């Protein structure tokens, strides 16, 4: 009693002080298997660059309409400065950073420019320069013609600008597609993106802003697009879904069980008792879990709460046996008789859950702890309080479920007869093709099932902004920053071939902005050799515009006046470097590293991209999606073996008590397991890690029913059958309902148990019948 | 996954240069309204140009001349015949430069989205909608009889470094443009022999749109 009060107090304290912020980042559940510090830094940097951002594009047919809509949007956001901050869209005076690069303009060339310098004739350079000089609208140029007569620096700047289609206009950033303008609104969250609280507070603001933007279209014949993306939106959609499911599944389970107990015992007391055990379990679990992990994940709550449903079994086990016992017998003595089986079934389930905890999966560990602690609390509640509360008169019905009990007598006996053969044939005939059809799919994306509009918006936004892939990229390493840049350049040479073949459409790399020292020297030497010191180019230019040799000398001096190396430190100190700063990993341990991102990659081109890195020193292809999926695959295999091992272990445990009858206890579960595999295969479900978790639980629960059946504590087979029915239906109500979940993980887990438990329930009476 | 843009003032300059060449600013006051009424708005307009560039530190001014066309739905052809034959063609989807018949530069909208904006601004201005200019410049219009003149001065310090002052003058058509850059370089363009309608469509430059 005291213990419960303490934990109840703690839980209330947690709630009152708002200390429970369920985490909704699915990735937080995954194992961190990466021991490579460079790679860890790379992922952290990529994530940090994106995690806190919300990206919105407000689109309209006319520029003015887009501006009005975007202003309406930002107007709403600006009232909530404590939640969201709008990133400044444009630093009006950009001349500063251009001036910095201008000082090093001889060192900066694009790969195409280098190629042109090597192949073009002096005559062609003369023409280029004259075109530039005379044309009134010859495209952009950097400063005076005399500073950049061959438009090399201008071309380099253009090349940098082409890394993004986003352009400034009237103090705003926009992209254009066809006839539509999209104004970019980039916001930074002030609070953690993966917190339920942030989502709850921020989402209504975003919705309101979106409505305000759309409302600007009223009256005018125009349609306003508002596209949004960001981790927050996914997290919010995930939590909303989980919350909806918790309530549906939770309420369904709660009232389903209540109804069931009412039908069986016809007393409110029995319902309240079972609820009590579950509630105490939940309180204990939440309290202990937040003490140990500091934070509870959304999925833990969904999963854990339903795992706790098993606790009802113990209560039902006790209540059923109390009901059929001699009314004269004291409840304590009933409990004493039941104790060995109670310990056995509790041990079985906890063993199963603990197995989950041994997996190096933070998510599974949390769920395992949550469920084990919850079960322990519920179990203790039953042991300590139920005998006090449940006297012989707790039930008003001595023989519940008459029709169901009659079923038992009608079941054909299992043995060497035709009925057995037919059942066996049907079973084998369905199970084998099912198992053959069974496929595995470990794709990490199955962990989440975001709504379609979110995915659509994200695809549209990445397309409009021409964003590079964020989960697949190259990591380049070296002993020094210089070596990293050199290796990036070697990699980019190879990527250039893929661009010309249309495999990718471009890349982003720090060396696009700051070439290696060696390349900087080579660029300068090339410009000097082909243009400045060339005996034909500048003199011919002088002749063409009526100048003399003096002018040639002046020009040469003017162009080479500033010719120093651009250093990484200089570059990283400019505001413009913010666009690529997340690509520079820098110094980690005794090495340096950077990230090279690719644009427009598709799954089918992955082998080519992996092959590209082969044989290149310090270049590594990283695919986060594939990596996590392969981790999931490894654990699925691992879990598969663990399930088989668990069967052996459980059999060994059973053997201690049941000896020769042990196989009768475990056989229904084994056959149900095989049957479930068949059903999953026939229904086109994929095997994945969480299916295996389902099988582990199936073993834990299924064996309980086997034990109940063998124990016949009260000697009434019919009542034991009712008891198993009660347990099975309550379990189906808690786990089976998970199969309704829209989250693929929960769905597959729920379906496994729905099929498995139903089969165990059906199979149990065939084994060990007298 | 960083979405910040790389701002490019150069594209701005390009856009401004373009629009300054062919257009004039507007203000909803009386003078500007009258200027707008005065300007003809043909579908196609072709003519001769003479351009004089004076660069700081150069002894002689740089002279060039040729013919040009501006068409509402097609774009701009700028065909210089002196001192050498060169063409710049700005259409909805690309900018193409030719030197004596050889293409020396081609930039597509796909690669550089600003081109579309450049064109659109030019066309909207030719159609008489000059308001976009006021974002960047202080506009001072003046009119005497059928002649008008508009002075533009950059509002922004950053822009002033590139294009300091622009002066546009004309009557029924734009006749004269002067651009002063921040570094002291000057460009003067004079238009003459302007043709419209069928006469314009029959010119060699009009055929260059294809």
The model's pLDDT over A618-627, given as tens digits with 9 standing for 90+, comes to 999 988 888 8
Domain presence at residue B121: yes
pLDDT digits (tens, 9 = 90+) for A682-724: 888 888 888 888 888 888 888 888 888 887 655 667 778 888 8
Domain presence at residue B68: yes
A377 shares a domain with A281: yes
Pick from B1, B8, B112: CB nearest A46: B1
Q: What percent of chain A has pLDDT over 90?
A: 22
pLDDT exceeds cutoff 80 at A150: yes
Pick from B10, B17, B185: CB nearest A157: B10
Angle between helices A331-357 and A624-658 (to 10 degrees): 150
Average pLDDT rounded to a whole number, residues B106-114: 69
Q: Tell me if chain A has a CB within 8 Å of the CB of B58.
A: yes
- Mean pLDDT, rounded, of chain B: 73
Burial of B174 (0-12, 13-18, 19+ CB in 10 A): buried
Alpha-helical (H) ranges within A470-614 are 481-500, 517-527, 537-544, 549-560, 568-572, 606-613
Pick from A92, A467, A546: CB nearest B1: A467
Q: For residue A279, which phi and psi values (nearest 5 degrees)?
A: -65, -45
A641 shares a domain with A748: yes
Q: Please name which of A696, A719, A705, A694 lies closest in space to residue A664, comparing C-alpha atoms.
A: A705
Facing residues of B147 across strands? B144
Q: How many domains does chain A fold into?
A: 2
Q: How many angstroms separate the CA atoms of A358 and A369, rounded?
A: 10
Domain presence at residue A152: no
pLDDT exceeds cutoff 80 at B98: yes
A707 shares a domain with A660: yes
In this structure, what is the dihedral angle of CA atoms A102, A107, A109, A115, given to the nearest 10 degrees?
A: 150
Cα-based distances in Å from A295 to A25, A44, A199: 12, 20, 16
- Mean pLDDT, rounded, of chain A: 83
Q: What percent of chain A has pLDDT over 70?
A: 88
A282 shares a domain with A382: yes
In chain B, which residues have their Cβ closer than 8 Å to the Cβ of A554?
57
In chain A, which residues have their Cβ closer than 8 Å to the Cβ of B53?
133-134
Q: pLDDT tier at A28 (50, 70, 90 boundaries)?
A: low
List the structure tokens of A125. Answer: 């350079």
Average pLDDT rounded to a whole number, residues B146-162: 75
In chain A, which residues have their Cβ closer than 8 Å to the Cβ of B159?
none
Q: pLDDT tier at A469 (50, 70, 90 boundaries)?
A: confident
pLDDT exceeds cutoff 50 at B26: no
Domain presence at residue A283: yes
pLDDT digits (tens, 9 = 90+) for A349-382: 787 777 777 777 777 788 888 888 888 888 888 8
CA distance, residue A188 to nearest chain B CA (Å)? 12
pLDDT exceeds cutoff 90 at A436: no
Q: pLDDT tier at A521 (50, 70, 90 boundaries)?
A: very high
Nearest C-alpha in A relative to B63: A134
pLDDT exceeds cutoff 50 at A138: no
List the single range of A452-461, A685-694, B47-56 with lowest mean pLDDT.
A685-694
Burial of A272 (0-12, 13-18, 19+ CB in 10 A): middle
Of B100 and A392, the structure prediction assigns the larger pLDDT to B100
Q: Which helix H or strand E contains A296, and what residues bound it?
A: none
Tell which of A351, A373, A398 closes a domain. Answer: A398
Q: How many angstroms separate the CA atoms of A510 and A485, rounded?
A: 8
Q: Which of A78-87, A245-254, A407-416, B137-146 has the highest mean pLDDT?
A: A78-87
pLDDT exceeds cutoff 60 at B126: no
Structural domain harbouring B192: 9-207
A668 shares a domain with A634: yes
Cα-based distances in Å from B68 to A139, B47, B53: 17, 6, 18
A292 shares a domain with A361: yes
Q: Tell me if chain A has a CB within 8 Å of the CB of B193.
A: no
Q: Do the Cβ atoms of B9 and A470 come within 8 Å? A: no
Domain presence at residue A756: yes
Domain presence at residue B91: yes
pLDDT digits (tens, 9 = 90+) for B69-93: 888 778 888 899 988 888 888 877 7
CA distance, residue B133 to nearest chain A CA (Å)? 11
Domain presence at residue B1: no
Of A13 and A358, the structure prediction assigns the larger pLDDT to A358
A413 shares a domain with A284: no
Domain presence at residue A419: yes
How high is the pLDDT of residue A77? Answer: 92
Domain presence at residue A157: no
How high is the pLDDT of residue A89? Answer: 60
Nearest C-alpha in A relative to B158: A93
Q: pLDDT tier at A57 (50, 70, 90 boundaries)?
A: very high
pLDDT digits (tens, 9 = 90+) for B13-25: 333 333 333 333 3
CA distance, residue B29 to nearest chain A CA (Å)? 21
Q: How many angstroms separate the CA atoms of A688 and A299, rounded?
A: 17
Nearest C-alpha in A relative to B189: A136
CA distance, residue B172 to nearest chain A CA (Å)? 22
How high is the pLDDT of residue A476? Answer: 96
A428 shares a domain with A359: no
Structural domain harbouring A761: 407-437+625-713+740-770
pLDDT digits (tens, 9 = 90+) for A279-295: 888 888 888 888 887 77
Q: Do the Cβ atoms of B181 and A578 come within 8 Å? A: no
Burial of B110 (0-12, 13-18, 19+ CB in 10 A): exposed
Domain presence at residue A414: yes
A313 shares a domain with A415: no
Alpha-helical (H) ranges within chain B are 9-22, 30-38, 114-126, 157-162, 197-201, 204-207
pLDDT exceeds cutoff 80 at A247: no
Cα-based distances in Å from A405 to A757, A764, B60: 19, 14, 113
Nearest C-alpha in B relative to A546: B60
CA distance, residue B138 to nearest chain A CA (Å)? 15
In chain B, which residues have their Cβ closer than 8 Å to the Cβ of A42?
none
Q: Which of A6-20, A88-102, A464-478, B138-152 has the highest mean pLDDT?
A: A464-478
Q: Please name which of A471, A461, A470 lies closest in space to residue A233, comparing C-alpha atoms.
A: A461
Q: How many domains does chain B fold into?
A: 1
Pick from A131, A168, A468: CB nearest B7: A168
A299 shares a domain with A373: yes
How high is the pLDDT of residue A653? Answer: 82
pLDDT digits (tens, 9 = 90+) for A207-230: 999 999 998 887 666 789 999 998
Q: What is the CATH number of the domain that holds B179?
A: 2.50.20.10
A368 shares a domain with A308: yes
Pick from A127, A545, A578: CB nearest B104: A127
Of A732 and A390, the structure prediction assigns the larger pLDDT to A732
List the single range of A8-17, A327-336, B136-145 with lowest mean pLDDT.
A8-17
Helix (H, G, I), strand (E, B) or coil at A470: strand
List the structure tokens of A587. Answer: 């110094």
Domain presence at residue B3: no
List the structure tokens of A765. Answer: 């009476």
pLDDT exceeds cutoff 80 at B2: no
How high is the pLDDT of residue A758? Answer: 93
Domain presence at residue B135: yes
Domain presence at residue A326: yes
Average pLDDT rounded to a whole number, residues B131-158: 76
Q: Tell me if chain A has a CB within 8 Å of the CB of B78.
A: yes
In chain A, which residues have their Cβ closer than 8 Å to the Cβ of B93?
none
List the structure tokens of B138. Answer: 């202080």
Sheet holding B86-90, edge to edge: B102-108, B94-99, B86-90, B75-82, B62-71, B44-54, B186-196, B174-181, B163-170, B147-154, B137-144
Tell which of A398, A426, A454 closes a domain. Answer: A398
pLDDT exceeds cutoff 70 at B5: no
Nearest C-alpha in A relative to B8: A161
A316 shares a domain with A424: no
Q: pLDDT tier at A311 (50, 70, 90 boundaries)?
A: confident
How high is the pLDDT of residue A142? Answer: 60
Of A35 and A109, the structure prediction assigns the larger pLDDT to A109
Q: Tell me if chain A has a CB within 8 Å of the CB of B95.
A: yes
pLDDT exceeds cutoff 80 at B10: no
How high is the pLDDT of residue B29? Answer: 58
């Amino acid at each position: 009693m005291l213990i419960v009060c303490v934990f109840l107090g703690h839980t209330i304290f947690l709630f009152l002080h708002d200390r429970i912020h369920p985490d909704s980042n699915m990735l937080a559940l995954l194992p961190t298997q990466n021991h490579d510090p460079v790679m860890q830094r790379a992922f952290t940097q990529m994530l940090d660059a994106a995690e806190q951002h919300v990206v919105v594009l407000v689109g309209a047919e006319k520029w003015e309409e887009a501006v009005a809509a975007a202003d309406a949007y930002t107007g709403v956001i600006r009232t909530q400065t404590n939640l969201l901050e709008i990133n400044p869209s444009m630093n009006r005076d950009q001349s500063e950073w251009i001036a910095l690069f201008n000082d090093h303009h001889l060192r900066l060339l694009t790969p195409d420019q280098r190629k042109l310098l090597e192949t073009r004739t002096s005559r062609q350079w003369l023409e280029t320069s004259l075109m530039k000089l005379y044309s009134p609208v010859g495209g952009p140029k950097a400063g005076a013609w005399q500073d950049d007569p061959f438009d090399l620096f201008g071309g380099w700047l253009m090349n940098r600008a082409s890394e993004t289609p986003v352009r400034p206009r009237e103090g705003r950033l926009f992209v254009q597609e066809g006839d539509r303008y999209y104004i970019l609104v980039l916001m930074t969250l002030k609070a953690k993106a993966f917190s339920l609280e942030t989502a709850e507070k921020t989402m209504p603001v975003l919705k309101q802003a979106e409505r305000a933007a759309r409302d600007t279209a009223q009256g005018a014949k125009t349609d306003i697009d508002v596209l949004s993306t960001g981790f927050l939106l996914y997290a919010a959609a995930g939590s909303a879904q989980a919350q909806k499911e918790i309530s549906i599944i939770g309420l369904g389970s709660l009232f389903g069980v209540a109804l069931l107990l009412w039908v069986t015992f016809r007393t409110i007391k029995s319902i309240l008792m079972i609820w009590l055990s579950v509630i105490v379990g939940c309180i204990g679990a939440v309290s202990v879990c937040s003490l140990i992990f500091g934070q509870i994940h959304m999925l833990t709550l969904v999963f854990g709460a339903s795992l706790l449903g098993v606790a009802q079994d113990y209560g039902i086990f006790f209540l059923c046996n109390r009901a059929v016992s001699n009314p004269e017998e004291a409840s304590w003595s009933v409990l004493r008789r039941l104790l060995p089986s109670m310990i056995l079934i509790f041990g079985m389930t906890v063993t199963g859950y603990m197995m989950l905890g041994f997996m190096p999966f933070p998510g599974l560990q949390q769920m395992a702890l949550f469920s084990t602690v919850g079960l322990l609390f519920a179990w203790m509640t039953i042991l300590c309080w139920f005998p006090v509360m449940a006297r012989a008169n707790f039930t008003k019905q001595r023989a519940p479920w008459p029709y169901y009990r009659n079923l038992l007598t009608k079941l054909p006996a299992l043995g060497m007869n035709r009925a057995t053969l037919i059942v066996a044939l049907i079973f084998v005939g369905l199970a084998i093709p099912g198992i053959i059809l069974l496929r595995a799919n470990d794709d990490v994306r199955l962990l989440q099932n975001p709504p379609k509009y979110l995915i659509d918006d994200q695809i549209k936004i990445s397309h409009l902004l021409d964003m590079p892939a964020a989960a697949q990229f190259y990591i380049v390493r070296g002993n020094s920053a210089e070596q990293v840049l050199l290796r990036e350049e070697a990699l980019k040479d190879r990527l250039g071939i893929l661009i010309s073949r249309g495999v990718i459409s471009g890349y982003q790399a720090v060396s696009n902005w700051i070439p290696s020292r060696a390349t900087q020297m080579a660029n300068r030497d090339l410009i000097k050799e082909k243009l400045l010191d060339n005996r034909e180019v500048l003199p011919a230019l002088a002749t063409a515009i009526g100048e003399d040799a003096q002018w040639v000398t002046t020009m040469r001096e003017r162009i080479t006046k500033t010719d120093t190396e651009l250093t990484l430190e200089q570059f990283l100190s400019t505001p413009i470097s913010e666009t690529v700063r997340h690509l520079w990993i820098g110094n980690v341990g005794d090495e340096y590293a950077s990230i090279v991102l690719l644009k427009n990659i598709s799954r089918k081109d992955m082998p080519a991209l992996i092959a590209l890195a082969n044989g290149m020193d310090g270049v590594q292809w990283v695919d986060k999606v594939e990596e996590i999926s392969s981790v999931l695959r490894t654990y699925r295999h691992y879990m598969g073996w663990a399930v088989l091992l668990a069967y052996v272990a459980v059999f060994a445990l059973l053997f201690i008590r049941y000896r020769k009858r042990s196989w009768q206890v475990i056989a229904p579960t084994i056959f149900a397991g095989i049957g479930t595999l068949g059903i999953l295969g026939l229904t086109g479900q994929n095997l994945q890690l969480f299916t295996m978790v389902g099988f582990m639980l199936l073993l834990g629960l299924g064996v309980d029913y086997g034990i109940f059946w063998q124990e016949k504590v009260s000697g009434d087979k019919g009542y034991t059958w009712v008891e198993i029915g009660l347990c099975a239906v309550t379990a189906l109500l808690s786990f089976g309902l998970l199969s309704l979940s829209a989250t693929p993980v929960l769905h597959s887990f729920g379906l496994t148990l729905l099929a498995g438990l139903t089969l165990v329930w059906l199979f149990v009476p065939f084994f060990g019948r007298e | 996954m960083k979405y910040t843009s790389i701002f490019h003032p150069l594209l701005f300059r390009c856009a401004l240069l373009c629009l300054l060449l062919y257009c004039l600013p507007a203000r909803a006051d009386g003078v500007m309204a009258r200027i707008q009424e005065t300007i003809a708005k043909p579908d196609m307009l072709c003519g001769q140009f003479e351009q004089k560039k004076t660069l700081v530190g150069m002894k002689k001014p740089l002279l060039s001349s040729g013919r040009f066309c501006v068409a509402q739905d097609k774009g701009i052809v700028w065909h210089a015949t002196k001192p050498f034959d060169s063409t710049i063609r700005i259409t909805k989807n690309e900018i193409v430069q030719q030197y004596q018949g050889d293409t020396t530069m081609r930039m597509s909208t796909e690669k550089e989205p600003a081109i579309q904006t450049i064109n659109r601004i030019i066309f909207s201005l030719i159609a008489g909608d000059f308001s976009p200019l006021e974002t960047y410049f202080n506009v001072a219009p003046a009119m005497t009889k059928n002649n008008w003149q508009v002075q533009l001065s950059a509002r922004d310090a950053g822009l002033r470094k590139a294009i300091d002052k622009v002066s546009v003058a004309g009557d029924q058509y734009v006749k004269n443009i002067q651009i002063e850059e921040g570094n002291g370089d000057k460009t003067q363009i004079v238009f003459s022999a302007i043709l419209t309608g069928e006469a314009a469509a029959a010119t060699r430059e009009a055929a260059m749109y294809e």
